[in-house]
C-alpha cells in the first residue's frame, strides 16, 4: 500500500516543489535583472490603467476642448490632444481597459479550448488524434490575423467579436503544444506505474497527465498575450473593433494617421505606449519560458 501511495503522490508532490522553486527563481531573476523588473512595472501600470483609469488622469477620454485641438504634448496634456481637443493620454489610459480586456478574453479562449483539444487528441490517440490534428493543421496553415478578420467579418464589428476571433485563431497553437506535452507525459514511468497499480484512465488523466502537461502551455499563454494585444489593436486600427469615440489603442493610432505628417504625436504616442506594453509582455514571457524550459 505504501508503494502504491508513493507512486501516485510523488509526481504531484515533486510538481509542487518545482513550482515553488520556479517562483523563488523568478523572484531572484527579477531582482538581478533590472530590465525584467522594468517590464513587470510596465505591465502593472498597464493593468492599473485598465482597472483604475481615473487614478492616472483627471481628463475625460470623450470630452474635448475645441480651443485646444491639436495641442502638442505639454504638462497639461502629456500626449497632446487630437482634432477635437480630447486629451490623448486620457484616451490611451482608458483605452487600456478596452484593449487589455479583449486580449485577456482572447487568450483565455485560446488557452481553454486549445488545451482541451490538445489534451483530448494526445490522450485518446489513434484515429481521434489523427482527425483532430488534421483539423488543427488546417487552422495553422491560415495566418492568425487573416483568420481573425474573416471571423469578425462574419460575426460583426465589435471589440467582443475581436476578442472571440483572436481567441479562435490561437486555439490551434495551444492545441499542438498541449498534445506534444501530453504525449511526452504519457510515456513516463510514473504514468505506466499508475496504470499498473490499477488506477483508472480518468484518474491518471486528472492526477498526473494534466498537472504535468500545463507548464509549456502556460508559458505559451504568457507569450500569446503580446501577440493578442497586437492582433486586437491591429483589428481595431483596421476598423473592425469598437466604433468612435470609444477609446481603443488600435483606433487611437488610426485616428491620427491622416495628420501624422503635421501632428505626429496623435498616432506616435499612443502607438509608443502600445509598443512598450507589448515589448514588456514579451520580455516577461521569455523569462517564464526559460524557467519552464
Tens-digit pLDDT string for the chain (293 aa): 444 444 444 454 555 666 666 666 656 656 677 788 899 999 999 999 999 999 999 999 999 888 889 999 999 999 999 999 999 999 999 999 999 999 999 999 999 999 999 998 888 888 998 999 999 999 989 888 889 999 998 988 888 999 999 999 999 999 999 999 888 888 877 777 877 777 777 777 778 788 888 888 888 888 889 899 999 999 999 988 888 888 999 999 998 888 888 999 999 999 999 999 999 998 888 877 665 55
Q: Would you tell me how many other CB atoms lie within 10 Å of the CB of residue 127?
A: 8
Burial state string for 256-288 with b = 16 or more CB within 10 A and e = fewer than 16: beeeeeebebbbbbbbebbeebbebbbbbbebb
Report the top-level CATH class of 2-292: mainly alpha
pTM: 0.82
The whole-angstrom separation of Cα 250 and Cα 232 is: 7
Q: How many helices (H) and strands (E) does the chain have?
A: 13, 0
pLDDT for position 9: 47
Which residues is 87 bridged to in the sheet? 81
Q: Would you tell me how many other CB atoms lie within 10 Å of the CB of residue 41?
A: 11
Question: What nine digits make up the cell of 173?
Answer: 497553437
Considering only CA atoms, which of 241, 261, 266, 236 is closest in space to residue 161?
Answer: 241
pLDDT for position 209: 81
pLDDT for position 292: 54
pLDDT for position 10: 46
Residue 229, SS3 per DSSP:
helix
pLDDT for position 33: 75
The whole-angstrom separation of Cα 29 and Cα 284 is: 11
Question: What nine digits make up the cell of 287?
Answer: 523569462
pLDDT for position 30: 60
Amino acid at each position: 500500500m505504501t508503494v502504491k501511495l508513493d507512486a501516485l503522490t510523488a509526481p504531484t508532490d515533486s510538481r509542487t516543489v518545482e513550482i515553488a522553486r520556479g517562483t523563488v527563481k523568478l523572484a531572484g531573476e527579477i531582482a538581478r535583472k533590472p530590465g525584467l523588473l522594468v517590464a513587470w512595472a510596465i505591465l502593472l501600470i498597464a493593468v492599473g490603467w485598465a482597472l483604475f483609469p481615473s487614478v492616472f488622469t483627471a481628463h475625460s477620454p470623450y470630452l474635448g476642448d475645441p480651443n485646444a485641438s491639436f495641442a502638442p504634448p505639454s504638462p497639461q496634456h502629456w500626449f497632446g490632444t487630437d482634432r477635437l481637443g480630447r486629451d490623448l493620454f486620457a484616451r490611451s489610459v482608458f483605452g487600456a481597459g478596452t484593449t487589455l480586456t479583449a486580449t485577456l478574453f482572447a487568450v483565455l479562449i485560446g488557452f481553454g479550448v486549445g488545451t482541451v483539444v490538445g489534451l483530448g487528441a494526445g490522450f485518446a490517440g489513434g484515429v481521434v488524434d489523427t482527425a483532430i490534428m488534421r483539423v488543427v493543421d488546417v487552422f495553422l496553415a491560415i495566418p492568425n490575423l487573416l483568420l481573425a478578420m474573416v471571423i469578425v467579418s462574419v460575426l460583426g464589428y465589435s471589440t467582443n467579436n475581436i476578442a472571440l476571433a483572436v481567441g479562435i485563431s490561437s486555439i490551434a497553437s495551444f492545441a499542438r503544444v498541449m498534445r506534444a506535452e501530453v504525449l511526452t507525459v504519457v510515456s513516463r514511468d510514473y504514468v505506466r506505474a499508475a496504470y499498473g497499480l490499477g488506477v483508472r484512465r480518468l484518474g491518471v488523466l486528472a492526477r498526473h497527465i494534466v498537472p504535468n502537461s500545463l507548464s509549456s502551455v502556460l508559458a505559451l499563454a504568457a507569450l500569446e498575450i503580446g501577440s493578442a494585444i497586437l492582433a486586437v489593436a491591429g483589428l481595431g486600427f483596421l476598423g473592425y473593433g469598437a466604433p468612435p469615440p470609444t477609446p481603443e489603442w488600435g483606433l487611437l493610432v488610426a485616428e491620427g494617421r491622416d495628420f501624422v505628417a503635421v501632428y505626429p504625436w496623435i498616432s506616435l504616442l499612443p502607438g509608443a505606449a502600445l509598443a512598450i506594453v507589448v515589448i514588456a509582455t514579451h520580455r516577461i514571457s521569455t523569462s517564464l519560458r526559460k524557467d519552464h524550459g
